[in-house]
Amino acid sequence: MSNGRSAIRKDDPRERYANDAEFKTLVDTFFGLIMNVRNRFTPFELRQALVLALIRYEEMTLRPLSFKLSPRIDTSWEKELEREPPKTIKQLLNNLFGKKEI
């Protein structure tokens, strides 16, 4: 569990189900819901619905991240991005190979 109450590895759900009562209740709740709608939805549709419900929940509970950015360091490729793009092939070739006459 994210609150630190469980020492069971999160990637072993069967072990966690056997040893974590709160997780077991959650799984049993989902299982009961699935059993109630199993004749109307495929397993794929059930997965889609659960993923969408989780996405909606995350969107509803998102909090802004607070972190400090390191000082900005300009790199040569970023300076290149600030230049106006060439409008002709001749300008592009001049930018790539120098100001030679073509």
Whether the Cβ atoms of residue 14 and residue 3 lie closer than 8 Å to each other = no
**Residue 25 to residues 19, 30, 44: CA-CA distances in angstroms?**
11, 9, 23
Q: What is the pLDDT, as a whole number, of residue 1? A: 47
Query: CA-based Rg of the chain, rounded to a whole angstrom?
Result: 27
Annotated domain spans of the chain: 13-61
Residue by residue, pLDDT tens for the chain (102 residues) are: 455 555 555 678 899 999 999 999 999 999 999 999 999 999 999 999 999 999 999 888 877 666 666 666 666 665 666 666 666 777 777 777 776 554
pTM of the model: 0.49
Identify which of 33, 32, 26 has the alpha carbon closest to the alpha carbon of residue 6: 26
